[in-house]
Amino acid sequence: MKTKKLLIALLAVTATLFTACKENIPERGDSPLDENAGCYIYDSTSDVVIKPADGGKFLMTIAGETDTVETKVFNVLVGRNYSEAADSFEMQVVDEAAAFSFDPMVRFEKGEVVDTIEVEVLLDFGNTSELVLTVPEEKASLYSASSKTINVEVDYTWLPRGKATVTDSFLEGECEVAVEKAKEATDSLFRLTNVFEEIAKAAYPDDYKEISTPNVHFKFILDEDYNLVSLVGNGGALGSKHYSTSGWLAGPLVGGIGEFEYAYSSAALSAYGGAFANDANEYQLSTVIFHGGGSGYLFNMEWKWTDGYPGELADPSEGEGELTELTFTNCTHAVVADAVEEVTDEVLGTSVTHDVHILNFTDAGVEMNLVLVGDVLEGTFKIESNPGTEGTAEAGYFDGTNMNGCYVDVAFTKYYMTSGNVQVDVAEDGVTYTVTVDAESASGVEVKASFTGAFTEASPAPGRKSVKMINF
């Protein structure tokens, strides 16, 4: 009973409050209508990241969604609130780097409320640029976005190349980061991945988010002996790399200005007494950090390439990324007679010799090489690091000069097959072969490939006497 009375009392109070509030609600006029076409740019328009993909295609990421595309073209959708009549206008464009090609005219037929602008990206790999699109004021909606800034990056494929221990003198942090190499770069371009955030995490584990600079990578070029050549930046004052960020160094130095740059050119380093050098896998940078209003601070960073240093790798261009299933249409076949000696009885000292078959497949710029041991080219061949018996295949390796054994060469990337099987079947006509590869590379990449057809006879490689794995 008491509960019921309390409920009634609360309802009564609520009703009184509602009445009082209702009486005090100010009168509002209707919101103004778009007197023009009410045009706007769709919210789906966002930053774009483009990376290379197999077969000359590209991986395009927009708003977290990644698709494989044929060309470096993305769409910007422009909408309007009215469709009673046809209409057209020219978008206002800011493209300071001339990095984009497109028709800036927006055209609506009667009854249409959406038009698409197709933007072609002219940037090469490793470059970024900014595109600003704005609906003219006389056409713009009052309630939707009429201007968009789109940041576009055409990035390399970054292959893992080990790890490095990094220390810096400013935040006094020490961390371990991934070392990566740009697959498509014409020079030996490497980077320390996300290094500035990792330094901040190490120096201020509880507060690093307040000063961290995520997704900023420290890039540098090495020569053929993996000695430092230069740092990589994008111009700027004094040959410096410039960042606009609310993170790293903003708090510790000036408190939120949020802009800093470091000298990276030889001239700039010399002018400030800086240096950029290495002793084998130990690297050192002494430079100057420019911050905010132009103040400069000495900055030292050292890193030691601990895992995967190129001098310890069979081939620094060995692939790490996913490899699609390969189908070949051309194959040459060479035979090296009695190239492998198999010991059958060590006590008696007896042995037999086997032929070595070298199969070289090519298609659309992709090459696959197989080295099979057997007197008959048929059956299952197991990939081994030290083949010496019939029915084995020579694992892939790099001897410092040449690729050998079973491998796939895709543009800048090599995949050395170190385990798995090669199946060879012969049709009743005796000339049609089916070759199926199911293997794994030294970097853990699955290699699947096939071929059906006749072989073209080829001469063996000069001086080829045996198959032995070295430095694997």
Q: What is the pLDDT of residues 60-112, one digit of tens each?
A: 999 888 888 999 999 999 999 888 899 999 999 999 989 999 999 999 999 99
Long-range contacts of 106-115 (CB under 8 A, 24+ apart): 106/39, 106/78, 108/37, 108/80, 108/83, 110/83, 110/84, 110/85, 110/86, 111/83, 112/83, 113/79, 113/80, 113/81, 113/82, 113/83, 114/77, 114/78, 114/79, 115/77, 115/78
Give which of 118, 114, 105 is closest to 69, Cα–Cα.
Answer: 118
Lowest mean pLDDT among 209-218, 279-288, 431-440: 209-218
What Cα–Cα distance (Å) separates residue 206 from each residue in 199, 202, 212, 425, 452? Answer: 13, 9, 11, 62, 60
Give which of 62, 59, 118, 112 is closest to 88, Cα–Cα.
Answer: 112
Lowest mean pLDDT among 11-15, 145-149, 216-220, 264-268: 11-15
More confident residue, 398 or 251: 398
The average confidence (pLDDT) of the chain is: 77
Q: 118 near 102, Cβ under 8 Å?
A: yes
pLDDT in tens, 408-466: 988 667 888 888 999 999 999 999 999 999 998 877 889 999 999 999 987 554 434 34
pLDDT the model gives residue 311: 53
Give which of 461, 377, 359, 383 is closest to 425, Cα–Cα.
Answer: 377
Q: 75 near 116, Cβ under 8 Å?
A: yes
Lowest mean pLDDT among 3-17, 258-272, 276-290: 3-17
Give which of 257, 259, 263, 303 is closest to 281, Cα–Cα.
Answer: 303
Q: 59 near 51, Cβ under 8 Å?
A: yes
Class of domain 40-154: mainly beta
Q: 369 near 406, Cβ under 8 Å?
A: yes
Q: What is the mean pLDDT of residues 253-258?
A: 35
Q: What is the mean pLDDT of residues 52-64?
A: 83
* Model confidence at 379: pLDDT above 60: yes
pLDDT the model gives residue 363: 87
pLDDT the model gives residue 378: 94
pLDDT the model gives residue 24: 54
3-state secondary structure 450-471: EEEECCEECCCCCCCCCCCCCC
Domain ranges across the chain:
40-154, 158-312, 326-457
pLDDT the model gives residue 252: 39
Q: 370 near 378, Cβ under 8 Å?
A: no
Categorize the per-residue pLDDT at 6 as very low, low, confident or very high, splitting at 50, 70 and 90. Answer: very low
- Residue pointed to by tokens 């038009």: 115
pLDDT the model gives residue 182: 85
pLDDT the model gives residue 289: 63
More confident residue, 150 or 470: 150
Lowest mean pLDDT among 45-49, 328-332, 380-384, 429-433: 45-49
Q: What is the mean pLDDT of residues 210-228?
A: 78
* Model confidence at 344: pLDDT above 80: no
Give which of 373, 370, 335 is closest to 353, Cα–Cα.
Answer: 373
pLDDT the model gives residue 21: 44
pLDDT the model gives residue 239: 37
Range with top average pLDDT, 117-121, 205-209, 245-249, 252-256: 117-121
DSSP letter assigned to residue 421: E
pLDDT the model gives residue 400: 55
- Residue pointed to by tokens 């005796």: 430
Categorize the per-residue pLDDT at 316 as very low, low, confident or very high, splitting at 50, 70 and 90. Answer: very low
pLDDT the model gives residue 347: 67
pLDDT the model gives residue 248: 43
Residue 172, SS3 per DSSP: coil
pLDDT in tens, 144-192: 888 999 999 898 888 777 789 999 877 788 999 888 888 788 778 898 8
* Model confidence at 383: pLDDT above 70: yes
Task: List alpha helices for 130-288, DSSP H.
Answer: 195-203, 208-211, 266-271
Categorize the per-residue pLDDT at 113 as very low, low, confident or very high, splitting at 50, 70 and 90. Answer: very high
Give which of 311, 315, 316 is closest to 398, Cα–Cα.
Answer: 315
More confident residue, 361 or 179: 361
250, amino acid identity:
A
* Model confidence at 12: pLDDT above 80: no
pLDDT the model gives residue 147: 93
Categorize the per-residue pLDDT at 403 as very low, low, confident or very high, splitting at 50, 70 and 90. Answer: confident
Q: How far apart are CA 186 and CA 180, in angstroms?
A: 15
Other beta carbons within 10 angstroms of residue 185's beta carbon come to 18
